[in-house]
Amino acid sequence: EIVLTQSPGTLSLSPGERATLSCRASQSVSSSYLVWYQQKPGQAPRLLIYGASSRATGIPDRFSGSGSGTDFTLTISRLEPEDFAMYYCQQYGSSPQTFGQGTKVEIK
Partner 1 sequence: EVQLLESGGGLVQPGGSLRLSCAASGFTFSTYAMNWVRQAPGKGLEWVSGISGGGGSTQYADSVKGRFTISRDNSKNTLYLQMNGLGVEDTAAYYCAKFVGGRSLVDWGQGTLVTVSS
11 to 40: interface string for partner 1, x by CB under 8 A: ---------------------xx-x-x-x-
43, 71, 34, 41 alpha-carbon torsion, rounded to 10°: 0
Binding region for partner 1 (CB under 8 A) out of 18-26, 59-67, 69-77, 90-98: 90-98
Least Cβ distance, residue 91 to partner 1 (angstroms): 9
**Which residues, in sequence order, are CB contacts of 88 under 8 Å at separation 6+?**
6, 36, 37, 39, 45, 99, 100, 101, 102, 103
43 to 82: interface string for partner 1, x by CB under 8 A: xxxxx--xx----x--------------------------
